[in-house]
Chains A and B, each alone.
Chain A
Amino acid sequence: MTAVLPLAGRARVGALRGASVSEMVVALLAGLLVVHLALGTLERFRSAQVRLAGRTDALVALRVSRHLLRAELRVGLPGRDWRLADDSLGLRAFRGTALVCPTRPSPDELLVRYAGMRAPDPTKDSLLLVTGRGEVEVRALAGVAATADPCAAAGPGTVGRWRLDREPPPGVVLARLFERGSYHLSGSALRYRRGLSGRQPLTPEVWTLPETAWTRTYEAIGVRLVPGDAGAGAAWSGFLAWTDRP
């Protein structure tokens, strides 16, 4: 009768051959080296990706801040439409223009053809009314309604009925729509406060405070933007607007 040994048993039958201690040490060291190199490479990739993402955020924030602030200040008059306080830039931001139609729906209403950056909002907007003689008066916008009434004033835009807080001056031909708000460099971002609402971030939160700040010279204002972890070389100082319009 022939006995059949299990596989494990058969393996033990022959001379047991294992690795020597030195071979095991070399194998372990080689394994550790490979793992170390792999982990190091992964860590470098991860930190490189984080740095790239940070630089991208800083670039986006710089681009948005620069374009936005310059566009807002360009169409306003310093001192009248915008003013730089300690930490904020308060402004009456231009949002659109309305041609006033000759017909008047009611004493405190205007029929207008409006074209602008956004739809008018009675809770936050005010109007600068310009008469045919060049006089200007300010009114608050109390209500807005769409209408199908015809408007003789030709031009782009949509026709609507705007109710004012009080009667407009006679001979008004043009209404400029403004939004009251303020820009702030706070919480590591450029923020905008529209009306009396909260400060909403417009950029990623990348700026270092208080190094990031408004700058003021004799005839111009600017801003110095310093990204948090991008190094001093990534700081940007730039011109925004003249404070004494020639």
Chain B
Amino acid sequence: MDLRGRPGQAAFTLLEVVLALIVLEIGVLGIAGTLYLASTTLRRAETLERAVARAEGVLDSLGRGAEPGAGRASFSAGEVAWSVGDSGQVEVHATGPTGALLFRVRSILPVR
């Protein structure tokens, strides 16, 4: 086996090899970036789903309470806080693990 080659024999230069590796690296980084983006989006969807579920539970509880008031409750990926106005208006907002606002909902409690 002759790895060094001989004069006149075609071969890749070092520059060509380096360029090929760079192109390959760009492809690998692209795939990794796509996976990272998908994972981040999915994590946000999971957090949002849990927050919505928690907020629904809170609104269900408020609708049942004789004298509903303000409060807060945590869930696995954040916190849900709510306040109740005099006329039965309720506002619920959820924050994620970093404290960023996920959503804010205003509703009216059913008349009891």
Give A residues with C-beta under 8 Å from B.
17-19, 23-24, 27, 41, 45, 48-49, 52, 55-56, 59, 62-63, 66, 70, 233-234, 236, 238-239, 242, 246
Contact = CB atoms under 8 A, between A and B. Distances in A.
Given A45-B35, A48-B35, A59-B42, A24 B1 contact: yes
Contacts of A24: 1, 3
A239 B60 contact: yes
A55 B23 CA distance: 31
27 contacts: A17-B4, A17-B6, A18-B2, A19-B2, A19-B3, A19-B4, A23-B3, A45-B31, A45-B32, A45-B35, A48-B35, A49-B35, A52-B35, A52-B39, A55-B42, A59-B46, A62-B49, A63-B49, A66-B53, A70-B56, A233-B76, A234-B46, A236-B53, A236-B76, A239-B56, A242-B60, A246-B64
B38 interface: yes
Given A45-B31, A52-B42, A234-B46, 11 more contacts: A17-B4, A18-B1, A18-B2, A27-B3, A45-B35, A49-B35, A55-B46, A63-B49, A66-B53, A233-B76, A246-B64
B64 A59 contact: no
Nearest to B50: A236
A165 B66 CA distance: 44
7 nearest interchain CB pairs? A19-B3, A239-B57, A48-B35, A238-B53, A18-B2, A55-B42, A52-B38
Interface of B: 1-4, 6, 28, 31-32, 35, 38-39, 42, 45-46, 49-50, 53, 56-57, 60-61, 64, 76, 112
Given A52-B42, A59-B42, A238-B57, A17 B2 contact: yes
B28 A41 contact: yes
A48 B39 contact: yes
Contact of B64 (A23, A45, A234, A242): A242
A7 to B, nearest CB: 11
Contact of B45 (A18, A19, A59): A59
B107 to A, nearest CB: 15
Contacts of B56: 70, 239
Contacts of A41: 28
A62 to B, nearest CB: 6
Contacts of B2: 17-19
Contacts of A45: 31-32, 35
Contacts of B60: 239, 242
A196 to B, nearest CB: 33
Contacts of A56: 42
A59 B6 contact: no
